[in-house]
Structure 1
Amino acid sequence: MTVLAPACSRTTSPLPLLLLLLLSPGLRGSPHCTFQYSPISSNFALKIRNLADYLLQDYPVDVASNLQNDELCGALWRLVLAQRLLHRLQTVAGSQLLSLLETVDKEIYFVTFCAFQPPPSCLRYVQTNISHLLQDTSEQLKILKPRIQKDNFSQCLELQCQPEPSTLPPPQSPGALGATAPPAPRQPLLLLLLLPLAALLLLAAAWCLHWQRGHTPPCSREQVRPVSSPQEELPLQPAEC
């Protein structure tokens, strides 16, 4: 006996599949990271301060230490990392702390509307107090609020690290355009100035020695001392020079 499988109906509605695609976490972010309205409230600082008052000030958290200081994307990148950290804290928080964390998370949840790439492996993390993280989050929201509707953040979807010292561009050569020639060392210049002076001193010493030799009377004769009587005669003595 052969059992035939039922044929698929051509009138099957694609709505469940469409809803599944829309609810997929990888598709919630938009490749066009722009905002038609400001998602940042006017009292975000108060909400963050209420959370900070409830938490231990020395509660340790890990923050990125080498995130690129980009003028356009820097504030948004810091909020992306802060939102992910707060989301992890919500999974281990009690009921009262969870409510405060969710309130602050709503202030920075707008970063999930953009399709940010996962944090790069080049990021380095250091441990700091959560009070410092919340203070920095408040400062970044303050920076971002007046321009979030004006700027296009579509080029900020990939977080960037600061370049390592080994990857920094080499310094320009002295002959390059706009480069400043390094100052000449002082020691060779001082030596060049002292050489003519030393030569002049040697010439002066040689001239003085030659002059003294030309004006010294020769001691070629012997001087005879006169005597008082013919019988008394002193021995000859050389003349004093």
Structure 2
Amino acid sequence: MTVPAPAWSPTVRIPGPKSLLLLLLLLSPGLRGTPDCSFAHSPISSNFAVTIRKLSDYLLQDYPVTVASNLQDEELCRALWRLVLAQRWLERLKTVAGPQMQGLLEAVNTEVYFVTSCAFQPLPSCLRFVRTNISHLLQDASAQLLALKPWITRRNFSRCLELQCQPEPSTPLPLRSPGALGATVLPAPAPHLLLVLLLLPSALLLLVAAWCLRRRGTPCPGERARTLRSRGAEDARPGPEAEPLALPSGRRPRPAPAGGCA
């Protein structure tokens, strides 16, 4: 006679309410983002602002955090990108907070946790972060949820899965001729140097003119050459016959004696 073995009854661990809320958020087909990052039902609650305000009341307003300063200002994706970075900060703060603060952080994290359902690429190395305080981070998260709420079920965010940086200003390289590819390209002269080179001839002419004016009666080199040429031309022309000298008034010229000396 075979005796059946007793049935094995394993110990069942009942998850807490917070874990159940996150599990439902991830498993619900309406709230879960699709692989192309779109949502059939809005994952943003109606009281997210109240939840964020409760956390702000308990946090130090000047607690230092960082935010990205050069995210590309893309109309469709910018709100989602900022929420991705804010959610990572909330996860980090939970690891250093006390039990009561962890509950408040978890409540705010639940409001933005839907961003983790989209397969975002790793953060690009071009991102630059600046220091700010936690109050600014939470205010920005609330503003981004408010801006995203009307569009979360209307848009497909598949092209937002890679965070993008603003393009860096590029400096144009100097042009080089094809025949001088191996030559060293000299840097372009500075604008003030070009201005000095353009004004230098005029300044020299002014200095020469001032020097000529100070030498009274001494003609300038150019004027002296023109004077010499004009004098040489006058000497080469036959001059008019000599006119008789005028005598003083009251005296008459003595007639020459005829036939010899006086």
Same fold (TM over 0.5): yes
TM range (shorter): 0.5 to 0.7
> Percent identity among equivalent residues?
67
C-alpha deviation, 1:70, in angstroms: 1.0
Distance of 1:72 and 1:231 partners within structure 2: 120
Name 1:224's counterpart in structure 2. 246
Distance of 1:142 and 1:223 partners within structure 2: 115
Contact 1:29 1:116 in 2 (8 A): no
Alignment deviations for residues 182-205 of structure 1 (CA, whole Å, 9 cap, x no partner): xxxxx9xxxxxxxxxxxxxxxxxx
Within the candidate set 111, 114, 124, 2:115 is matched to 111
Distance of 1:228 and 1:125 partners within structure 2: 113
Instruction: Please tell me whether Structure 1 or Structure 2 has the larger radius of gyration of its CA atoms.
Output: 2
Distance of 1:231 and 1:108 partners within structure 2: 132
C-alpha deviation, 1:228, in angstroms: 3.2
Name 1:37's counterpart in structure 2. 41
Contact 2:33 2:39 in 1 (8 A): no
Name 1:46's counterpart in structure 2. 50
The answer to whether structure 1 residue 159 and structure 2 residue 163 are counterparts is yes
Give the direction of change, closer, same or farther, for the CA distance of 1:147–1:29 in structure 2 (3 Å limit).
Answer: closer
Structure 1 stretches (4+) deviating beyond 4 angstroms?
A: 229-232
Alignment deviations for residues 39-73 of structure 1 (CA, whole Å, 9 cap, x no partner): 11222122212211211111001221221111111
Q: What is the RMSD computed on CA atoms of the aligned residues?
A: 3.3
Give the direction of change, closer, same or farther, for the CA distance of 1:87–1:220 in structure 2 (3 Å limit).
Answer: farther
Name 2:132's counterpart in structure 1. 128
Give the direction of change, closer, same or farther, for the CA distance of 1:230–1:219 in structure 2 (3 Å limit).
Answer: closer
Contact 2:38 2:155 in 1 (8 A): yes
Name 1:236's counterpart in structure 2. none
Name 1:102's counterpart in structure 2. 106
Give the direction of change, closer, same or farther, for the CA distance of 1:139–1:229 in structure 2 (3 Å limit).
Answer: closer
Unpaired stretches in structure 1, ≥5 consecutive residues: 1-21, 171-186, 188-217, 233-241
Unpaired stretches in structure 2, ≥5 consecutive residues: 1-25, 174-194, 196-239, 255-262
Q: How many residues align?
A: 164
The residue type paired with residue 92 of structure 1 is V
Give the direction of change, closer, same or farther, for the CA distance of 1:46–1:220 in structure 2 (3 Å limit).
Answer: farther
Equivalent residues in 2 for 1:199-210 (5 A)? none
The normalised TM-score by structure 1 is 0.59
